[in-house]
Amino acid sequence: MRLAIEPEAGASEEQIAAVETALGVRLPEKYRSWLMQTNGCLVGEYTRVPGVAEGTFSEIDAVESLPSINQSSLNDLIPDDFLQVTISFGGSLAIKIEGEDQGSVWWASSWKAEVDGILDEPSREIMFRLADDWDAFLVLDFPEPKVRS
């Protein structure tokens, strides 16, 4: 199943640049380009993260949400070379912003952090690679959504 993207109006270069300044990072080009087209989107309720036992999301946040997302408690467990782009049930989507594999997309599992007792320092053990870059992430084969009662 492909993501059922319901885009918002695109972000401006000025909006993206202001958030990059606030965060002190340059967003990866493919993600920046996508934000300029959509500035976040709904993706369908309870979209499951491919290859991850516990993790669903319903939206990808707009660029102006990134500073607050990256002040969440889960951010304390994510290595500094990653940036969260949405927070949801069981974790968050993150993009690698520095070093090798810059631009790759990952799932940061709050579920794994809790089960393994990783509660107070960044850990690569909670990070699960999903795609080489943002464009590859968008065309992943996503499992059918979980049904919530």
pTM higher than 0.95 for the full model?
A: no
Average confidence (pLDDT) over 13-18: 97
What own/partner pairs with CB < 8 Å and gap ≥ 24 does 4-7 have? 4/43, 4/44, 4/47, 5/38, 5/41, 5/42, 5/43, 5/138, 6/41, 6/42, 6/43, 7/37, 7/38, 7/39, 7/40, 7/41
Q: Is the pLDDT assigned to residue 46 strictly greater than 70?
A: yes
Residue 1 has a pLDDT of 63
**Which of the two residues, 89 and 10, has the higher pLDDT score?**
10
Residue 39 has a pLDDT of 93
Q: Give residue 36's pLDDT band: very low, low, confident or very high (50, 70, 90).
A: very high
Q: What's the mean per-residue pLDDT of the chain? A: 89
Q: What percent of the chain has pLDDT over 90?
A: 60
